[in-house]
Amino acid sequence: MTAESSTREINVDYLARVEGEGAMYLKLDGDEIIDLQFAIFEPPRFYEAFLRGRKPSEAPDITSRICGICPIAYQMSSINAMEFAADVEVHPQIRALRRMLYAGEWIESHTLHVYMLHAPDFLGYESAIELAADLPEVVTHALRLKKLGNTVMTLLGGREIHPINMRVGGFYRTPTQSELDTLVEELEWALGMSEETVRLVSGFEFPDFEMPYEFVALHHPDEYAITDGRIISSEGLDIDVSEWTEHFEEIHVEHSNALHCRLRERGTYHVGPMARFTLNHDQLTPRARAIADEVGLAKGERNPFKSIIVRSVEIVLACEEILRLIDEYERPPEPWITVESTDSVGHGASEAPRGILYHRYEIDPGGLIADAKIVPPTSQNQSSIEADLREFVGPRTQMEDEKLKWQLEQAIRNYDPCISCATHFLDLTVERVN
Amino acid sequence: MTMTIQTKPKLAVWKFASCDGCQLTLLDCEDELLDIVGAIDIAYFPEATRREIGGPYDLSLVEGSVTTAHDARRIKEIRAQSGTLVSIGACATAGGIQALKNFADVDEYIAIVYAHPEYIDTLANSTAIADHVEVDLELRGCPISKHQLIEVIDAFLHGRRPNTPNHSVCVECKMRGVRCIMVAGGTPCMGPVTHAGCGAICPAYNRGCFGCFGPSADPNIDSLRDIWQGLGMDDPDLVHALRTFNTYAPEFKEASEKYDG
């Protein structure tokens, strides 16, 4: 920024507290936004290409490597697709175990984001490490809650990152009732602590900001959708997962190694906890609903900064659901069933912590993968993030550079963007003219 | 007190092409994390903090593989400002699963995934960190083991060699008391040729090892092939098993090329 130049410039080279590498570029002339781009520079890894020629049974282990934060989401969506292609349905208790494992991933991922990646913004700390120096009890409790998510994943999945136990057709090994019962005491503690988390974060200061999002989420008739469901939206979309391609399209834009996903009819849409909370509000578990009501979080909330409250409510829900499913558990007769298909197409979707994750596979006559398509939640939210940034900057162009930069980073972190997933993302640059 | 802070060694965590899982392993050390940050100053770790302290750094943990010309230059700059450099995980030690593109035509791969190939900058091969700079220690795994990561940091802080054995997963099965699922159970298993470190998780879950930690010291893949053939697993099955997260680890690469009919 110089006196002669009419350009005002702010730079953040590498967005912190997100998963992966991404950047933002903002150019301002006085109060006018000249250009705004949200870019993903995480290098491409070409999963969809090297899945070709692999066996359907390999897809869960291969695609889980797209993301170390939400590997279960990748495993689940690919498994759904392969079971769809073979037209098989697994035992209800296998489905229950998958929901428990997935809820464990929600607890781990949401707690990581709420306390370690997002809360420091609201409290004015660079990181949870500095936060720990002033509020050690908060961070200790956060780590214990996060650890519980990992304990659930380790028991049911074999390990926290890239679990090994879930497979097409079921699990390699199902747990005994007494193994699951070892989780109960800590889950009951976590249920209380996650309610405290909702109370804590709902006391943060939120910018006055709302967006007219079209929410898109999975919906299941019997439960708050996690592992599977139909795709519905706040504008009346209600389709089977197999109808994805007819309603959604991916666009490759120059500034990003991630593909932007749009609704063919209406463009930008929003997936993730806020979408799920509004669209599946009737299916909140009793204590999740009670704590949301207590802190005044209502169906239809469209302030993205309040996503931190929604994530915390979903931790409550995840703990309640695991406890319920342990209580109702009966070890299934077989850990897995054989799933085979040839010359078929499989579609699968599940609710990753950040939103819908869609997979589609074509299986060739020899039973190998001929084509793969993977649409992660951050690709779907990328247009929504850019729209938020534009709208947020509008009335705040006079804000001092450092403060504006931090708030824009925070606006991006509202989405808990997973850039490793979307690459196929953050360096933040604000350039000012005047 | 001020003196103590100034003398803490500085840690940096760097990312190249990867899934973030190995650096997440550090944040997954829930019981040890506050002790670790008490002993070492996290000077650069963008996944966890906005705070950036300039180099040089005493210990650098490097995740991910090199896949772009920019990253090939960046790793040299990181080496220059790092005292001890440890590459962590299958991407950093062997090129990762993205090294599967090394066997293919990269332009064809770009065309499969992206509508505008001209927007994409990528090298023909995905390569390990040690292919570009001198590495002081390689920590294997997809993902790395939390216990081994803590061992490496603890060893660094105490100036000793870390204890990360290079024997096979078979040894870990014996230590864990797991019955051999291949010999006794008839399930194909990569354990005899796979580097230890995970603690034999898969066999304990009634699943054959699928090679997350890459080749063990002197793996006898020819002998594994004989056993697999006895279990009805042909060469294409073996080649698939070798071509996953450690596909470009020399021993796995050579064997997969040898048996790729």
Q: What is the mean pLDDT of each run of 10 residues along chain A (434 residues)?
A: 52 64 81 81 79 96 94 98 98 98 98 93 89 92 97 98 98 98 98 98 96 97 98 97 94 70 91 98 98 98 97 98 98 97 97 96 97 90 91 90 86 82 45 59
B16, B20, B51: best mutation site toward chain A, by most A Cβ within 10 Å?
A: B20
Identify the pLDDT of residue A26.
Answer: 85
Count of pairs with CB atoms under 8 A, one residue in A, one in B: 183
Domain ends where: B158, B180, B212? B158
List CB contacts (< 8 A) between B116 and chain A. 252, 254
Residue A33 vs residues A390, A414, B65, B196: alpha-carbon distances, Å: 8, 21, 37, 55
Q: Which DSSP symbol is given to A299?
A: T
Q: Are strands A344-352 and A355-363 parallel, antiparallel or unpaired?
A: antiparallel
Residue B203 forms part of a structural domain: yes
Look up residue A322 and give its two tokens: 């695991």
Mean of pLDDT over chain B = 93
Do both B197 and B148 map to the same domain?
no
Indicate if B182 and B132 belong to the same structural domain. no
Looking at B131-220, list the stretches that DSSP marks H as alpha helix, in order from N- to C-terminal side: 146-158, 169-176, 201-204
Query: In whole angstroms, what is the distance from residue B259 CA to residue B249 CA?
Result: 16
The answer to whether the CB atoms of B104 and A424 lie below 8 A apart is: no
Compute the distance between CA of residue A173 and CA of residue A79 in angstroms, rounded to an integer: 16
pLDDT at A100: 98
Considering only CB atoms, B68 lies closest to which of A43, A167, A173, namely A43
CA separation (Å) from B127 to A52, A337, B97, B101? 21, 38, 10, 11
Residue of A46, A68, A116 lying closest to B22 (CB–CB): A68
Tens of pLDDT, residues B104-152: 887 887 777 776 776 667 788 999 999 999 999 999 999 999 999 999 9
Subunit contact B24:A140, Cβ cutoff 8 A = no
Do B174 and B152 fall within a single domain?
Answer: no
Give the per-residue pLDDT at A42. 67
pLDDT at A22: 73
Q: What is the CATH number of the domain that holds B147?
A: 3.40.50.700
Distance between CA B49 and CA B43 in Å, rounded? Answer: 9
In chain B, the number of structural domains is: 2
Mind telling me how many Å the CA of A143 is from chain B's nearest CA? 5
Cα distances (angstroms) measured from residue B116 to each of A147, A218, A378, B111, B151: 42, 31, 20, 8, 45
| Residue contact A17–B49, C-beta within 8 A | yes
- Closest residue in A to B70 (Cα–Cα): A43
Cis preceding-peptide flag for B215 (omega within 30 of 0): no
pLDDT at A254 (0 to 100): 65
Query: In this complex, which of B25, B49, B108 lies closest to A16 when CB atoms are compared?
Result: B49
Decide if B122 is inside a domain. yes
Q: Is B222 helix (H, G, I), strand (E, B) or coil?
A: helix
Mark which of B97, B127, B158 sits at the end of a domain.
Answer: B158
**Residue B154 counted as domain residue:** yes
- Contact call for residues A323 and A187 (beta carbons, < 8 A): yes
Token pair for residue A387?
A: 């729209």
Max CA distance (Å), chain A? 77
- Structural domain range at position B46: 2-158
What 3-state class would DSSP assign to B135? Answer: coil
Q: How far is B84 from chain A (nearest CA, A)?
A: 23
- Give the burial string for B19-55 (b: 16+ CB within 10 Å, else e): bbbbbbbbbbbbebbbebbeebbbbbbbbbbbbeeeb
User: What are all long-range contacts of B67-72, with beta carbons under 8 Å and residues at least 24 apart?
Assistant: B67/A43, B67/A44, B67/A45, B67/B16, B67/B17, B67/B98, B67/B122, B67/B123, B67/B125, B67/B126, B67/B127, B68/A43, B68/B17, B68/B121, B68/B122, B68/B123, B69/B121, B69/B123, B70/B121, B71/A43, B71/B16, B71/B17, B72/B123, B72/B132
- pLDDT at position A367: 96
Give the distance from CA B160 to its chain's centroid.
22
Contacts of B210 in chain A (CB under 8 A): 61, 164
B77 touches chain A (CB under 8 A): no
Does residue B68 form part of some domain?
Answer: yes
- Report yes or no: A42 and B120 within 8 Å, Cβ to Cβ: no
pLDDT of residue A432: 62
Helix (H) or strand (E) holding A32: strand A32-40
Contact A162 B120 (CB under 8 A): no
- Is B27 in contact with A112 (Cβ distance < 8 A)? yes
Torsion of CA B16, A70, A129, B35, to 10 degrees: -90
Report how far residue B238's alpha carbon sits from residue A200's, in angstroms, rounded to the nearest whole number. Answer: 53
Does residue B49 or residue B231 have the better pLDDT? B231
Q: Does residue B164 sit within a domain?
A: no
pLDDT at B34 over 60: yes
- Predicted confidence at residue B96, as pLDDT, reads 97
A136 contacts in B (CB within 8 Å)?
34
Verify that B26 and B147 share a domain, yes or no: yes
Cβ within 8 Å, pair B101-A160: no
pLDDT confidence of residue A426: 36
- Do B192 and B120 reside in the same domain of the chain? no
Interface residue B205 vs chain A (CB under 8 A): yes
Last residue of a domain, one of B103, B130, B158: B158
Residue contact A43–B114, C-beta within 8 A: no
Burial of A178 (C-beta count, 10 Å sphere; 0-12/13-18/19+): exposed
Taking CA B199 as the corner, what is the angle to CA B156 and CA B190, rounded to the nearest 5 degrees?
115
pLDDT digits 0-9 by tens, B212-260: 999 999 999 999 999 999 999 999 999 999 999 999 999 999 999 999 9
Asked if A358 contacts A77 with a C-beta cutoff of 8 angstroms, the reply is yes
Do residues B230 and B135 both lie within one domain? Answer: no
B203 and B104 within one domain = no
pLDDT given at position A145 = 98
Residues B187 and B88 in one domain: no
What percent of chain B has a predicted confidence (pLDDT) above 70? Answer: 95
The answer to whether the beta carbons of residues B225 and B187 sit under 8 Å apart is: no
Say which residues have a Cβ less than 8 Å from residue A159's Cβ, sequence separation at least 6: A153, B143, B198, B201
Q: Is B97 helix (H, G, I), strand (E, B) or coil?
A: helix
Does B177 lie in the same domain as B88? Answer: no
Q: Are A65 and B204 in contact (CB < 8 Å)?
A: no
Residue B72 lies in a domain: yes
My answer on whether B105 and B48 are in the same domain is yes
- Give residue A88's Cα distance to chain centre: 27
- Give the domains, in start order, of chain A with CATH numbers: 7-44+393-433 (no CATH), 47-380 (1.10.645.10)
Cα distances from A407 to residues A343, A392, A414, B28, in angstroms, run: 50, 9, 10, 27
Q: Hey, is the C-beta of B217 within 8 angstroms of any chain A C-beta? A: no
Non-local (6+) Cβ contacts of A2 within 8 A are: none
Residue B163 counted as domain residue: no
In a domain, B31, yes or no: yes
If contacts are CB pairs under 8 Å, which of residues 156-185 in chain B contact chain A? none
| Number of CB atoms found within 10 A of residue A163's CB | 23
Whether residues B67 and B177 fall in one domain: no
Distance CA A167, CA A57 (A): 7
Residues A361, A59 contacting (CB under 8 angstroms)? yes
Within its chain, how far is the Cα of A405 from the centroid? 24
Residues of A within 8 A of B109 (CB-CB) are 46, 49-50
Q: Is pLDDT at B66 greater than 80 in this prediction? A: yes
> Min CA distance, B82 vs chain A (Å)?
20
Same domain, B236 and B194: yes
Calculate ∠ Cα B169-B226-A158, nearest 5°.
30
B90-115 burial, b for 16+ CB within 10 Å, e for fewer? bbbbbbbbbbbbbeeebeebbebbbe
Q: Hey, of A18, A19, A50, which one would you mutate to test binding to chain B, going by the most B CBs within 10 A of its CB? A: A50
Write down the pTM of the prediction: 0.94
